[in-house]
């Protein structure tokens, strides 16, 4: 057998799914999670409030926690399954439940932002959810496909949690509620559009996964009804796919324009005796780049040069406008400096917020870190028989997929440790590191 043949055989074995999936159990699981009754309604409302607070105070960990709590994924997977197996009733049920969930999310977030006393002077986390990009399409598509694979897998892992975080369904809904509460329809529409983009591509990825994994199709006793159902399903797929593809095309164009515009601005800052000190990209009616100059007035030659350089980056003249805050006999220097000061102040505020966010994340990492050397010294002094220590934080996962933090300790000892000493060490570590769950294993080295 050649190397190429062996490699091909190994790759087929690695990529083989048939031995690791159970589509019957997966379908039962998806159908069971479509229903939205009782505790799920309260859990969703709680998740919305948590996410709204996280967005309000620009706390990424809080927003992530809300995404893990939220039950929004169930009806979306249900709609994808319904499309894949031609089950119109499942699609209707999933669609109704999803609509109820979205309504609850909007109402709860609207009420929260309406009454919150917290300031929203620089809501960077909120604003980040008002303008979808092509990357959101990619994340939703691959996240949805990963989600359906995880639901079909016999041995469940933590993929669904990762999909919930990556696709971020909850934050856009909360941001839409903020847009309603503040009367900002731009934020409302942008955030709701991001949610629709994410939900649609997760559903379409689920549909592709259902078809690829060959879920059992719905059987119809009435042939005419079966044909009608399949026609309706095909029409729904077209209705969902065409606008989604068009949205993706628009997002790609916007991303390309933004990349070209940024590269053009960074390429060169001075034209004659004028300085390009700021720029603004917008997509209100069409892709547009606004340039802000200061210094001596831009003459026609300099303006032509700006357009020529921009053309080298694929930008057209009708996509560019120049704001010439330059010194002249008629110009007002005070207005010029006020404009520069205002823009610099906005940039500094944005950087300060980034620094605060990174500081919070760093603090969280430090709080979760273990002072390995110090703990080792203390254990060595208290337990002379211990010769080597391994400490690590981890997670324990129960059969119901409930997670809890755990400290794992592995000891190398010169002589066996009694159960009494092991128990004492466990209680001491719990107190010392403020953790509820400690697992200690030890082995005797002769």
Q: Right CATH number for 3-218 from 1.25.40, 1.20.120, 1.20.1080, 1.10.3470?
A: 1.20.1080
Per-residue pLDDT reduced to its tens digit, 163-185: 777 777 888 888 888 888 888 88
Per-residue model confidence (pLDDT) at position 38? 74
Cβ proximity of 23 and 214 under 8 Å: yes
Specify the pTM: 0.59
The closest alpha carbon to 107, from 117, 97, 96, 99, belongs to: 99
Task: For residue 446, name the pLDDT band (cuts at 50, 70, 90).
Answer: low
Pairing of strands 320-326, 288-295: parallel
Domain boundaries, the chain: 3-218, 259-355, 372-444
> What class is the 259-355 domain?
alpha beta
**Residues 302-315, mean pLDDT to the nearest whole number:** 87
| % of the chain exceeding 90 in pLDDT | 2
Range of lowest pLDDT (164-173, 332-341, 421-430): 332-341
Per-residue pLDDT reduced to its tens digit, 113-135: 888 876 655 555 566 665 666 67
Cβ proximity of 391 and 408 under 8 Å: yes
Higher-pLDDT residue of 393, 198: 198
CA geometry: angle 190, 191, 193, nearest 5 deg: 65
d(C-alpha 417, C-alpha 383), whole Å: 9
Per-residue pLDDT reduced to its tens digit, 339-381: 666 666 777 777 777 787 777 766 665 655 677 788 888 888 8
d(C-alpha 83, C-alpha 237), whole Å: 7
Q: Within the chain, how many helices (H) and strands (E) appear?
A: 16, 7
Per-residue model confidence (pLDDT) at position 107? 92
Higher-pLDDT residue of 445, 115: 115
Per-residue pLDDT reduced to its tens digit, 133-143: 667 778 888 88
Per-residue pLDDT reduced to its tens digit, 387-406: 888 887 777 777 666 777 78
Q: Which residue has the tokens 């399903």?
A: 233
137: Cβ–Cβ under 8 A, 6 or more apart, which residues? 197, 201, 244, 247, 248, 251
Residue 111, pLDDT > 80, answer: yes
> Which residues pair with residue 432 across a beta bridge?
none
Would you state the structure tokens that stand for residue 173, as one six-digit string?
Answer: 């809904």
Range of lowest pLDDT (205-214, 308-317, 427-436): 427-436
Task: For residue 330, name the pLDDT band (cuts at 50, 70, 90).
Answer: very low
3-state secondary structure of 320: strand
Range of lowest pLDDT (14-18, 80-84, 377-381): 14-18
Per-residue model confidence (pLDDT) at position 394? 75
Per-residue model confidence (pLDDT) at position 231? 76
Q: Classify residue 312 by its DSSP letter.
A: T
Higher-pLDDT residue of 81, 3: 81
Residue 329, pLDDT > 60, answer: no
In CATH terms, the fold of domain 372-444 is GMP Synthetase; Chain A, domain 3 (3.30.300)
Cβ proximity of 213 and 21 under 8 Å: yes
**Residues 269-297, mean pLDDT to the nearest whole number:** 81
- Around 442, how many Cα atoms within 13 Å sit in the side-chain half-sphere? 23
Category of 70 on φ-ψ map: left (φ > 0), alpha (ψ -120 to 50) or beta: beta
Asked if the domains 3-218 and 259-355 are classified in one and the same CATH topology, the answer is: no
d(C-alpha 443, C-alpha 415), whole Å: 9
Range of lowest pLDDT (48-62, 179-193, 315-329): 315-329
Average pLDDT of the chain?
Answer: 79
d(C-alpha 407, C-alpha 393), whole Å: 5
């Amino acid at each position: 057998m050649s190397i190429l043949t062996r490699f091909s055989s190994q790759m087929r074995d690695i990529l083989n799914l048939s031995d690791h999936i159970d589509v019957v159990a997966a379908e039962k699981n998806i159908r069971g999670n479509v229903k939205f009754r009782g505790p799920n309604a309260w859990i969703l409302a709680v998740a919305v409030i948590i996410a709204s607070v996280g967005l309000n105070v620009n706390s990424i960990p809080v927003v992530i926690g809300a995404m893990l709590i939220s039950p929004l994924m169930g009806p979306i997977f249900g709609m994808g399954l319904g499309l894949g197996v031609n089950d119109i009733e499942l699609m209707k049920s999933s669609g109704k439940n999803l609509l109820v969930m979205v309504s609850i999310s909007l109402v709860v977030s609207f009420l929260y932002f309406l009454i919150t006393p917290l300031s929203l002077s620089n809501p960077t986390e909120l604003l980040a959810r008002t303008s979808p990009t092509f990357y959101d399409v990619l994340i939703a598509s691959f996240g949805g496909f990963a989600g359906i694979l995880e639901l079909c897998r016999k041995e469940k892992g933590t993929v669904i949690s990762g999909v919930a975080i990556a696709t971020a369904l909850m934050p856009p809904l909360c941001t839409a509620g903020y847009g309603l509460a503040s009367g900002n329809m731009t934020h409302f529409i942008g955030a709701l559009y991001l949610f629709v983009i994410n939900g649609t591509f997760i559903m379409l990825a689920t549909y592709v996964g259902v078809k690829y994994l060959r879920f059992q199709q719905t059987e119809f006793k009435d042939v005419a009804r079966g044909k009608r159902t399949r026609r309706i399903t095909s029409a729904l797929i077209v209705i969902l796919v065409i606008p989604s593809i068009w949205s993706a095309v628009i997002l790609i164009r916007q991303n390309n324009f933004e990349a070209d515009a940024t590269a053009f601005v960074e390429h060169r800052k001075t034209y004659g005796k004028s300085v390009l000190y700021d720029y603004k990209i917008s997509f209100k009616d069409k892709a547009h780049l606004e340039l802000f100059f200061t210094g001596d007035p831009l003459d026609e030659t300099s303006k032509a040069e700006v357009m020529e350089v921009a053309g080298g980056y694929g930008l057209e003249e009708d996509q560019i406008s120049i704001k010439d805050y330059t010194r002249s006999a008629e110009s007002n220097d005070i207005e010029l400096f006020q404009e520069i000061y205002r823009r610099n102040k906005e940039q500094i505020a944005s950087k300060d917020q980034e620094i605060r966010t990174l500081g919070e994340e760093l603090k969280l990492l430090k709080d979760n870190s273990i002072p390995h050397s110090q703990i080792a010294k203390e254990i060595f002094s208290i337990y002379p028989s211990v010769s080597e220590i391994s400490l690590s934080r981890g997670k324990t996962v129960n059969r119901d997929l409930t997670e809890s933090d755990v400290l794992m300790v592995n000891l190398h000892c010169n002589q066996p440790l009694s159960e009494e000493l092991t128990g004492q060490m466990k209680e001491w570590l719990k107190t010392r590191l403020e953790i509820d769950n400690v697992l200690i294993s030890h082995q005797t080295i002769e």
